[in-house]
Amino acid sequence: MTDLKLFQTQCGALCELESSSAPLEKGLQMQFENNLDTLLGVRFLASEYSTTRFYLAYRRIKNYACVEVRPTLNQLKIFLKIDPDSVELVDGFSRGVRKIGHFGTGDLELTIGSHEDFERAKPLILRSYEES
């Protein structure tokens, strides 16, 4: 696997940034994408790698889920296009982020830190996919 190059704009010109975590983050992204069907039972159609934050965006016709990778915390944050008022929010697993600034799509944030969290997230991910 090659290193992912990161750039920043300075005075209208692009300058390459030194990167030590980008290969790790890209590796996590690829591992997650290669195992989505196994992990979530869902086949995602497209992804996007952001250099400002490490997250994945998945879309059908438009984005329905964004996954932010947090390797130092051993967790993922999944943002879904679901009205948080339409689901029972569980402390530590789900929360409404409608009035909170965040990267990604949607108003419902899920915190995934275990296989059980993945299982609990599956119906919500499918719902977001089907409703977009």
Tens of pLDDT, residue by residue over 74-122, are 888 999 999 999 999 999 999 999 988 777 778 999 999 998 999 999 9
> pLDDT tens-digit profile of 22-37?
555 666 667 777 776 6
Position of tokens 């990161």? Answer: 6
Instruction: Give the pLDDT score at 51.
Output: 45
Question: Which of these ranges, 10-14, 42-46, 106-110, 117-121, has the smallest mean pLDDT?
Answer: 42-46
Question: Domains of the chain by range and CATH?
Answer: 23-131 (3.90.1150)
| CB atoms inside a 10 Å sphere around CB 32 | 17
Cβ–Cβ < 8 Å for 84, 56 = no
Instruction: Give the pLDDT score at 80.
Output: 93
Instruction: Give the pLDDT score at 43.
Output: 58
Tell me the average pLDDT of the chain: 76
Instruction: Give the pLDDT score at 96.
Output: 95
Nearest Cα to Cα of residue 98 among 87, 90, 106, 110: 106
Instruction: Give the pLDDT score at 50.
Output: 47
Cβ–Cβ < 8 Å for 64, 80 = yes
pLDDT(125) > 60: yes
pLDDT(2) > 60: no
Cβ–Cβ < 8 Å for 81, 98 = no
Q: Are strands 63-70 and 75-80 parallel, antiparallel or unpaired?
A: antiparallel
Q: Can you say whether the dihedral through the CA atoms of 91, 111, 61, 5 is positive or negative?
A: positive
Collapsing DSSP to helix, strand or coil, 25 comes out as: helix
pTM: 0.59
